Amino acid sequence: MSFRTPPLLLIALLPLALAAPVARGQDAPRAAQPAPQAAQPEAPRDPPREAGTPPAKATDAAPAQAAPDATPADAATPETAPEVAASDDPDAVENAATKVPLDEIRRYVGLFNAIRLGYVDPVDDRKLMDSAIRGLLLDLDPHSAYLEKNAAEAFDEGTTGAYDGIGVEVLQLPDGKMRIIAPIDDTPAAKAGIRAGDVIVSVDGRPLGASDAEGAGPLRGPPGSQVTLGVLREGEAAPLAIVVHRETIRVASVRGRMLEPGYGYVRLSAFQVETAADFTRTLERLQKDAGGTLKGLVIDLRSNPGGLLTSAVQVADDLLDKGRIVSTRGRNPVNDTEFNATPGDLLRGAPVVAIVDAGSASAAEVLAGALRDNDRARIVGSRTFGKGSVQTVMPLGNGDAVKLTTARYYTPSGRSIQARGIDPDVVLTPDRAEAKPVAGVPGYTEATLPGHLRGDEEQEGFAAGDVLDGDGPITAALAELKKPRPIAAKAPAAAAAKRD
């Protein structure tokens, strides 16, 4: 099935090197994005993190004035162009947006020199400058980050799904601790019992600090090596000591099987470069096993931390004949884009149910929102994480990179999922008989992260979703799949927005 790729997003930036991490994954593959290209818009392979960096016009001098005795006949003295109001002068508007704040730069240089000369111990100039660069992103949202060369390379590994570590998606906290967004299926972390919502506070007995945000991080290491994690978990009086053996993580992001004759099940654990193609192959295999046509499909997005936007878009496109899939909007209009479905539903209209929980984030929320807003699937489970922002990755000349939040996602109905998440049509709760009390982690949501972007529909004090484990949600989804579908006319997008 053909896929219509969107135009490349271009980002207009200040002519300074930007950076500084507040939150960063140290082990797992992320929503990795391709290196930006300073070129005309073209079709990207990966999600909207492409960014050109056109030079900004930073003019801080006053317009040239004619000499007091100059006359129109004085050919040697150029005439001054008449002043134009900023609102009528495109260059003036651009200059105002890109002008370097010289007073602040002077203040910074003065402080830089004061520290170099007056600090009690000698300070390396490069180290001091690196610290200043990181500070540029310190007060932004938790997903904007400065990635040193090793970290940038590790970040890009998410597109292939192969790296050496324990297999978790983490959020770096300002104090150096790491919050688990989700363990990746069939990895050492998942097998050792690491859970979404856990907070890693120490590695091999050493408490984590801010310096652990640098480089590849303490969770990475040679295959076969052992690491002991100190883990804070809701419901436990003291940190847990969990031993994990590192491996080369080759994440299979798509798995499928038949639940019973005619009904298929596909587990999507992340969105990587090959996820969409693997989804198509898995779906074709399940249809063959079903005798040519499936009666229905369960898509499991639980604890799926997201990944490549275009992979999620392609999966949605496989199940939709038409309609909008997702749009992005930023402060700069060049970050606005829209993804639409192309004709061809691989399931030929067979019903779909998607399972989500508190660990379903970003691209997983994009897929769930696209299927529901287009009346293509019903959503069961628990409220999702609520990460509705787009990060653009911009490489720097020294191999480092900056990950900067540049836009928000919007579902086909025009709703932002930022700090709100997606509420399921059918709410499921953890089975406390077989799950430990930690399954539902209070506050495990984008809305509780320090410095998060304010969401359009964010509500103070709303309840976070639950992490749903086990086969119970799959059984509930299958039951929902078998329910007769109403023959009512398709609801308009505006009405669909009221279901949450």
Contact of 46 with 175, CB cutoff 8 Å: no
Contacts of 32 (CB under 8 A, 6+ apart): 46, 155, 156, 157, 158, 159, 307, 308, 393
The residue type at 1: M
Return the residue matching tokens 């929102």: 369
The residue type at 407: A
Contact of 218 with 228, CB cutoff 8 Å: no
Contact of 51 with 244, CB cutoff 8 Å: no
d(CA 304, CA 324): 22
Structure token pair of residue 278: 């693997």
Contacts of 142 (CB under 8 A, 6+ apart): 22, 23, 171, 449, 450, 451, 452
* H/E stretch holding 395: strand 389-395
Structure token pair of residue 216: 């590849």
Strands 162-165 and 178-183, bridge-based pairing: unpaired
Nearest of 236, 176, 166 to residue 202 by alpha carbon: 176
CB-neighbour burial class of residue 429 (10 A; exposed 0-12, middle 13-18, buried 19+): middle
Q: Which residues are catalytic?
A: 362, 373, 387
